[in-house]
Amino acid sequence: MKRLLFIYNPQAGRGIIKNHLAAVADLFTKAGYLVTVWPTQGKEDAAHVAAQQGWWYDRVVCCGGDGTLSETVSGLLTMDQPPVLGYIPAGTTNDFSKNLGLPRGVENAAATAAAGVPRPCDMGRFNERTFVYVAAFGIFTDVSYGTPQHFKSAFGHLAYVLEGATKLGDLGRSHHLKAVYDGGELEGDFLYGMVTNTSSVGGFKIFPPSQISLNDGVFEVVLIRQPRSLADFQETLLALARQSTGASGRVEAFHTSRLTITAQDPIPWTLDGEYGGAPETAKIENLHKALTLVWGK
């Protein structure tokens, strides 16, 4: 009989999974799996369990937010031949699930995790750590990991908006850095930067869908230069919302398989919404088709 390890975060999405556990286990059993259920016991527990136990299973399914997914992936990537990974999104934002075409609803997503289409997917390495879909620095990037869990549970996505509104005073805090990427380099003062493998981050669709693939071996990179004023920054945000990255003249956008960012001072980064450290040099690499994920449509 096939074996399935189900890792879930009992705190994610206001604890929504607790009301669906029996139905989810039943779906997996009906799909022909012998199911082991593991509720995470704290930070990094999903990574530890995936790394230590994943080898024994034909499929691992994780349930939670982007952080739970990222932890599970980091654990599986310690293996030479990781099992197929399914994902049941149950967090506050769930940006990456939209790229996988996963249906809404815990039980619908569970059915897809059990019987969906396995496809290879690129992952990312940030110095010695891994990430699934986004590494970012600068204004607003501390909102996701700095917003208290009870605030996120009570207000959902609005919690990020409210917390982010308090960061507008940081417009003067840019970072002087040099970025070296496939076939080019640039230098200057930047307010924000992100390296992504996704069509949408926080609701912004930076690149047209035709330019994005989750397994093409390259990341999409956006770097926002220091704005001259608040109005200049607002114009830049509007340009990004319209997928017009060059409209304001403050945005650098390109594709690359590798990126090295060297800064004059340590820069705090987020990886999939969690704190990723504050290195002076960040070496970022696309891990081409490193993991097989279960997709929807």
With contact defined as beta carbons under 8 Å apart, do 95 and 134 qualify? yes
Per-residue exposure over 207-231, b if at least 16 CB sit within 10 Å of its own CB, e if not: beeeebebbeebbbbbbbbbbeeee
Phi/psi of residue 104, each to 5°? -80, 155
Residue 271 DSSP symbol? E
Task: Give the C-alpha separation, 180 to 183, whole Å.
Answer: 8
- Active-site annotation holder among 71, 274, 280, 285: 274
Counting every residue written for the chain, the total comes to 297
Distances (CA, A) of 75 to 51, 71, 78, 198, 288: 4, 6, 6, 21, 17
With contact defined as beta carbons under 8 Å apart, do 241 and 204 qualify? yes
AA identity, residue 85: L
Closest CA to 197 of 70, 46, 51, 62: 70
Tell me, yes or no, if 280 is annotated catalytic: no
Task: Give the C-alpha separation, 46 to 77, whole Å.
Answer: 13
Strands 274-275 and 2-8, bridge-based pairing = unpaired
Tokens 């990179």 correspond to: 221
With contact defined as beta carbons under 8 Å apart, do 35 and 4 qualify? yes
Separation of first and last alpha carbons in the chain: 27
Task: Give the C-alpha separation, 186 to 248, whole Å.
Answer: 18
Residues belonging to the active site? 274
